[in-house]
Amino acid sequence: MSKVLRILLVIVLFIIFFEVGLFSSYTIVTAEVPDVKGLIDMQVSYITNLFSPQNVNEVLIKDPTNINISNKKDVALKMEELSNVDGINVGSLNVTTYDDPKNDKINVTIEALGYASPNSTSGQIVISQEPAYKVIFKGVALHKNGELIVNISSLKVDSVLKLYK
């Protein structure tokens, strides 16, 4: 029990020294008598705003929501074109969002595996079935006729990562 009291005493002393330092520095900087009530109100409002539910939700990282889109092949072709890879694995296409999937307009992140061009060494063409890239795109998805469709013109390359074996 005495350990808890010691910890509480240290916290109270820290707060008292902090406040005394704040008031004295205010007096030195402004050459006026500090408004004690105003300074304490400012601190309390700042702390309550800092721990408000809205700010806490912005700080907490939530997992993205996986969503299904209807135009996977069109998206894969546009991703292939923009990222300059030779192919996109449609089966690996992963579309996620942090927005509410029920909204009409949703910001999405699209990840997929991409393939490199066939290697030709000593007159022999070697076609690899293993992906060589991970491509990540940002875009906007819209609800149309009950389906979720990614707007192809909204796709922007976020990154193209080379996979090493």
Q: What's the pLDDT at 51?
A: 77
What's the mean pLDDT in 27-36? 85
**Phi, psi (5° rounding) for residue 141?**
-110, 145
Cβ neighbours around 99 below 10 Å, total: 15
Q: What's the pLDDT at 126?
A: 53
C-alpha dihedral, 111 to 95 to 81 to 91, nearest 10°: 80
Q: What's the pLDDT at 94?
A: 93
Q: Each residue of 82-134: pLDDT tens digit?
A: 988 888 889 889 999 988 888 889 999 999 998 887 654 555 555 557 788 89
Give per-residue burial for 25-45: e unless 16+ CB within 10 Å, then b: ebeeeeeeeeeeeeeeeeeee
Q: Each residue of 48-78: pLDDT tens digit?
A: 877 777 666 665 667 788 999 999 999 999 9
The helix (H) or strand (E) run that includes residue 135 is strand 133-144
Q: Each residue of 36-56: pLDDT tens digit?
A: 888 888 888 888 877 777 666
- Amino acid at position 120, single letter: S
Q: What's the pLDDT at 110?
A: 94
Structure tokens at 27: 């007096």
- Amino acid at position 5, single letter: L
Q: What's the pTM? A: 0.59
- Percent of the chain at pLDDT > 70 equals 87
Helices then strands, counting H and E runs in the chain, come out as 4, 9
